[in-house]
Copies of this chain bind each other. A is one copy, B any other.
C-alpha cells in the first residue's frame, strides 16, 4: 500500500475545509462529525499541515482551521508529501533513501525512477479544486486509461 489513511484523511480534510470555510475558521469537531474520522486522529494531521503552512489554526471560541490559499492552489501531491513523506515507490528513492552500493549496476533502478516521476506528476497535476468538482457519478473516469 502506498497511501495510508493519514494521507487520505488529509485530502478529505482539505476538501472539507474548502467546501465549508471561505473566511471563517472551521472547528475540528465539525469536520470529525462530517467525515466520520476521530477528532483526536485528525488533530495529529492538522498539526502537520499547520506546521507546514498549508492551513492556519486559531485558538479559542470561534477558532478552528482555515485554508490560507484558494483550493486551486493546493496540489494533491503537496498534501500527500506533507502528511506521508516521500511518494517514492521503493526504499532506494525519496528523501530518506538509504544509499545502495548496487546503485551503479542496478538494472531496476531506472524503472523505479520512472515510476517515481510518473506518480509525482500524477498527483501534482491535480488540485483540491479538481476533487471538489467531481461528484461520485464521475467514478471510473480513469477507465479510459
A36–B101 Cα distance when bound, in Å, is: 11
The number of times this chain is found in the oligomer is 2
Are B117 and A143 within 8 A (Cβ)? yes
With A90-B1, A107-B15, A131-B107 known as contacts, the answer to whether A139 contacts B113 (CB < 8 A) is yes
Which residues of B are found within 8 Å of A141, using beta-carbon distances? 110, 114
Which residues of B are found within 8 Å of A126, using beta-carbon distances? 111
From residue A101, how far is it (CB to closest CB) to chain B in Å?
9
Q: Which residue of B lies closest to A135 (CB)?
A: B107
Binary flags per residue of A118-130, CB closer than 8 Å to B gives 1, else 0: 1101100010000
Which residues of B are found within 8 Å of A121, using beta-carbon distances? 145
